[in-house]
Chains A and B, each alone.
Chain A
């Protein structure tokens, strides 16, 4: 039997620094890749708030970005999907009211990007 410890001496359980899972890239799970068309986007933020993987980064833009109908959208705008973490579930493409996102098979998307 080891020596008895009082409660001040007991070691704490497993502790972790915050947000370490950023080092674990879940993008490798993806079968379908979301292809984002900025010219059709109204920056309504439905895809951003629905994304369960926080894979759609946002930025605040004073000068604005060009979107659907050539309009300039100011304020909080979405950026290109972060493919390091996107698992390709397709919720963003399914819920987008202006159809600015389409899902493409990963290998086709890869080929298409090689041709460019």
Chain B
């Protein structure tokens, strides 16, 4: 396992694959996620990128922050284009026109993955194309100004499920992309978070080396629309893990393994505090929402522990 020094040399050293000058909000963790994932590949990487924050901020014409082949796609077809590239690459390799080994990485935000690109992703996983799909999950359509997505958590205030006299924010729980991807019986699926660079690097490496499709879901606290101080991005990512809101686990060949088990599970309030999207939950009339949220998180965690313990394969 490489040390943080070796990782830093790969992410910020002379062989940098993702360069400065992009226009992400100050304090946005996507930069840290992308540079770490790209550094985890020991082969050249071909990147396909669905529309989303990352695409918009890194390729404002005539600028690009990518120091590796990169392609912009519409919202829905990142996984389809990755499939096409993989098929073309295989054909070219068979005919001897390419000799290099490459890794193919598809990147999408949560809107482009949980909702719009979901059908294409499912199809690509089912066809067993060898590529990795990275989703940076900031829990709503943040690029267009905070609209609800399939990844938005219960109780969050967004512009399309606004808080008011009768609404406490999003009334549904988010979907579990990792389990949905694992249900395709693919070799590697993992969930990780922006603050856990070592874990992210390790999982990206496993995903690139998997014998088939891999999916990596990474939590990315959004300083602009969760509305906290830009210096606290990694802090909120950490809190999400410590409260079991976003457990770090992986499904390798169907076997579930939980990477971090917080010895003292913090109450969910610690994660909710300071975020504008959850501000209304601290009013007395919304106290039941936090209670319900805590119960759901605990139930989900107990379920995950049970799955891991049983050793049942996905």
Contacts and interface: CB of A to CB of B under 8 A. Distances in A.
A58 interface: yes
B256 interface: no
A45 B7 contact: yes
Interface stretch (B11-19, B88-96, B139-147, B282-290): B11-19
B4 interface: yes
Contacts of A43: 5
A52 B8 contact: no
Q: Among the interface residues A23, A30, A49, A87, which one has the most CB atoms of the partner chain B within 10 A?
A: A49
A18 B22 contact: no
Contacts of A53: 20, 22, 24, 31
Q: Among the interface residues A43, A50, A89, which one has the most CB atoms of the partner chain B within 10 A?
A: A89
A24 interface: yes
A85 B21 contact: yes
B230 to A, nearest CB: 4
A88 B26 contact: yes
Interface string A72-112: 00011010001011011111011100000001000000000
Contacts of B61: 14, 16
Contacts of B59: 16
A45 B3 CA distance: 10
A50 B199 CA distance: 13
Nearest to B69: A18
B50 interface: no
A89 B233 contact: yes
A38 to B, nearest CB: 16
Interface residues of A, number: 45
B6 interface: yes
Contacts of A91: 27, 230-231, 233-234
A20 B63 contact: yes
Contact of B32 (A44, A50, A103): A50
B20 A55 contact: yes
Contacts of A50: 32, 195, 197, 234
B173 to A, nearest CB: 29
Interface residues of B, number: 47
Nearest to A78: B8
Nearest to B198: A49
Nearest to A82: B20
B65 interface: yes
A10 to B, nearest CB: 16
A57 B20 CA distance: 11
B98 to A, nearest CB: 19
A54 B66 contact: no
A58 B15 CA distance: 12
A75 B35 contact: no
B36 interface: yes
B250 to A, nearest CB: 20
Nearest to A32: B231
Interface string A35-68: 0000000011110111111111110100000000
A2 to B, nearest CB: 25
Contacts of A82: 20
Nearest to B5: A76
14 contacts: A16-B59, A18-B66, A26-B20, A26-B23, A44-B4, A49-B4, A49-B8, A53-B24, A54-B12, A56-B12, A85-B21, A89-B223, A94-B232, A94-B235
